[in-house]
């Protein structure tokens, strides 16, 4: 059984928790898109892991971890993460494979990201400033790209970096009057990255196809959320990769039909970090209640997340483009204590009621949400393990989301721990 887990909102839906649970029955967990902009949380007992590049299966000592070619790898972050796990007694030796074709995020990408965001002022995108956009831009541009396999030939890499950095310095100085970047410093870092990471660098496409032929079970771990997809999200307020499940085949060279089930992860409400339209946003005491109760602060940047009601229009759209078979609805516990809840079931755009999400910010910015209001529940549900033990209004809320998204809800999160999950 091969599965793919993908976010159905604007990221941070609880993918890390779900992947950690499903990894128990998987031989291999694969990250196929994005980079260290992702922050996936796994909570095991009193230990909390925040993973940015390593697949969330990495905390299980026997799970093979694969980072494929469409991931942009920041070696500094990855090495820190490997060392962090080692400190907690978890080693990646012999079970981490990184694609030789994955592009490398270097210091100048992070600098470009930061300078561009600063220069945009109020029009900034609110990126994670992890160099993601600039690295993907170099990948698409091809001439100034560095890939993990380039670390194998340091002589050639030195010459290449000199050329790239000469170009980068011209641009950074002309556009931002920035201090020049030192090619020798970047090269020295690359030498240490090579020493540390090359044992893990390989042809991951060959590895994955061999594993499929051998009947191993693979779990593909999406990063970000479908609404942040470069081509199908809320452009330009998106990330620079295909973060819906559409990015999976291209991201790792494994056809979509090799996946037996696509599981979408959504919160029982909506959050977003960074700029961009968010029709069901509650920039008020409701949003603050959700933020406080759900600890809605970014795993990567610590920024407060924008919070709002569950948006069935958005999630239905994501479920369609990401081929979702079932939904894992996380953070139901966070809604306990609210007198009434709203679910956005349609948008009113220029007097017309629409239920198909417009992935176009001009139209989306004009959308006013049409809500269904339902009664809330007072009981805390963090200890509930059986669906039938949930308060009646909580079950009604789940059923209504199922109906509006036309997708079964197979799992419900009632807390951050592995055990706080209801399976139906
Ligand atoms: P990801 O990026 O999709 O992996 O999600 P993040 O880890 O960035 O954010 C999700 C946060 O919610 C993390 O702090 C999780 O530990 C936490 N979490 C996940 N599921 C639940 C849940 O059902 N209830 C509560 N209260 N917290 C949850
Ligand atoms: P996980 O995997 C939430 C958002 C940023 C910004 C936009 C572009 O943890 O769900 P980028 O740095 O990618 O150029 O930023 O995308 N973003 C995320 N938001 N969760 C994420 O990842 C995100 N990765 C990027 O906040 O709005
Ligand atoms: Mg996250």
Residue 184 falls in the annotated catalytic set: no
Contact at 8 Å (CB) between 326 and 285?
A: no
> Strand, coil or helix: what is 283?
coil
Q: Give how far Cα 263 sits from Cα of 7, 161, 328, Å.
A: 9, 41, 7
Please name the residue that has the structure tokens 């697949």: 55
Q: Where does 58-102 have alpha helices with state H?
A: 75-87
Cβ-count burial 301-336 (b if 16+ within 10 Å, e if not): beeebbbbbbbbbbbbbbbbbbbbbbbbbbbbbbbb
Say which range, 120-124, 300-304, 326-330, has the weakest mean pLDDT: 300-304
- 89-134 tens-digit pLDDT: 999 999 999 999 999 999 999 999 999 999 999 999 999 999 999 9
Q: Checking DSSP bridges between strand 96-99 and strand 340-349, what pairing results, if any?
A: unpaired
* Per-residue confidence band for 300, with pLDDT thresholds at 50, 70 and 90: confident
**Ligand nearest to C-alpha 11:** 2
Residue 156's pLDDT is 98
- 26-71 tens-digit pLDDT: 999 999 999 999 999 999 998 999 999 999 999 999 999 999 999 9
Q: Is the pTM of this model over 0.95?
A: yes
Share of the chain above pLDDT 70, in %: 100
**CB of 33 shorter than 6 A to ligand 1:** no
Residue 96's pLDDT is 98
| Whole-number Å distance between alpha carbons of 334 and 267 | 10
| Whole-number Å distance between alpha carbons of 293 and 124 | 29
User: Stretch 262-272: mean pLDDT, rounded?
Assistant: 98
Ligand 1 nearest-atom number relative to CA 420: 23
Residue 301's pLDDT is 83
Residue 331 falls in the annotated catalytic set: no
Contact at 8 Å (CB) between 72 and 103?
A: yes
**Ligand nearest to C-alpha 50:** 1
Q: Give the chain's domains with CATH numbers.
A: 3-92+204-423 (3.90.170.10), 103-199 (1.10.300.10)
User: Stretch 131-154: mean pLDDT, rounded?
Assistant: 98
User: Stretch 152-173: mean pLDDT, rounded?
Assistant: 97
Contact at 8 Å (CB) between 4 and 40?
A: no
| Whole-number Å distance between alpha carbons of 159 and 383 | 59
Residue 110's pLDDT is 98
- 187-217 tens-digit pLDDT: 999 999 999 999 999 999 999 999 999 999 9
Tokens describing residue 29: 């967990």
Within 8 A by CB and 6+ apart from 345, the residues are 312, 313, 355, 370, 371, 372, 404
User: Stretch 292-318: mean pLDDT, rounded?
Assistant: 95
**CB of 224 shorter than 6 A to ligand 2:** yes
223 CA distance to ligand 2 middle (Å): 9
Residue 288's pLDDT is 97
Output the average pLDDT for the chain: 97
What's the farthest any 2 CA atoms get from each other in the chain? 67
- 398-412 tens-digit pLDDT: 999 999 999 999 999
Q: Which of 10, 11, 14, 383 to mutate to test the pocket of ligand 1 (most atoms within 8 A of CB)?
A: 14
User: Stretch 260-271: mean pLDDT, rounded?
Assistant: 98
* Per-residue confidence band for 350, with pLDDT thresholds at 50, 70 and 90: very high
* Per-residue confidence band for 261, with pLDDT thresholds at 50, 70 and 90: very high
Residue 73's pLDDT is 98
- 62-99 tens-digit pLDDT: 999 999 999 999 999 999 999 999 999 999 999 999 99
| Catalytic residue selected from 20, 40, 232, 331 | 40
Q: Is the model's pLDDT at 299 over the cut of 90?
A: no
- 225-243 tens-digit pLDDT: 999 999 999 999 999 999 9
> Strand, coil or helix: what is 267?
strand
């Amino acid at each position: 059984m091969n599965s793919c887990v993908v976010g159905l909102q604007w990221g941070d839906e609880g993918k890390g928790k779900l992947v950690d649970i499903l990894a128990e029955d998987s031989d291999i967990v694969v990250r196929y898109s994005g980079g260290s902009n992702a922050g996936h949380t796994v909570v095991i007992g009193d230990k909390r892991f925040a993973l940015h590049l390593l697949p969330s299966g990495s905390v299980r000592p026997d799970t093979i971890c694969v980072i494929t070619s469409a991931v942009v790898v920041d070696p500094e972050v990855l090495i820190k993460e490997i060392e962090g796990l080692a400190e907690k007694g978890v080693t990646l030796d012999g079970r981490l494979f990184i694609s030789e074709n994955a592009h490398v995020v270097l210091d100048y990408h992070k600098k470009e990201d930061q300078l561009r965001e600063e220069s945009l002022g109020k029009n900034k995108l609110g990126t994670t400033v992890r160099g993601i956009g600039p690295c993907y831009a170099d990948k698409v541009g091809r001439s100034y790209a560095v890939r993990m396999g380039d670390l194998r030939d340091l002589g050639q890499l030195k010459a290449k970096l000199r050329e790239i950095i000469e170009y980068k310095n011209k641009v950074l100085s002309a556009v931002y009057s920035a201090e020049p970047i030192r090619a020798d410093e970047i090269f020295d870092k690359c030498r240490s990255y090579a020493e540390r990471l090359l044992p893990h660098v390989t042809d991951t496409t060959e590895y994955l196809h061999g594993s499929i032929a051998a009947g191993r079970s693979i779990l593909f771990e999406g990063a970000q959320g479908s609404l942040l997809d470069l081509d199908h999200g809320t452009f330009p307020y998106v990330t620079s990769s295909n973060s819906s499940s559409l990015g999976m085949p291209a991201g790792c060279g494994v056809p979509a039909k090799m996946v037996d089930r696509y599981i979408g992860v959504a919160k029982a409400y909506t959050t977003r970090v960074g700029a961009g339209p968010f029709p069901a946003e509650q920039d008020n005491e409701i949003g603050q209640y959700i933020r406080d109760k759900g600890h809605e602060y970014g795993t990567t940047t610590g920024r407060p997340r924008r919070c709002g009601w569950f948006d069935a229009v958005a999630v239905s759209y994501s479920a369609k483009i990401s081929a979702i078979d079932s939904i894992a609805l996380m953070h139901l516990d966070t809604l306990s204590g609210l007198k009434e809840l709203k679910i956005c079931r349609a948008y009113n755009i220029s007097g017309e009621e629409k239920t198909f999400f417009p992935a176009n910010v001009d139209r989306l910015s004009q959308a006013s949400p049409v809500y269904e209001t339902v009664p809330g529940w007072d009981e805390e549900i963090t200890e509930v393990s059986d669906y039938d033990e949930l308060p009646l209004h909580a079950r009604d809320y789940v059923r209504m989301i199922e109906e509006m998204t036309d997708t079964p809800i197979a799992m419900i999160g009632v807390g951050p721990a592995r055990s706080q999950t209801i399976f139906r």
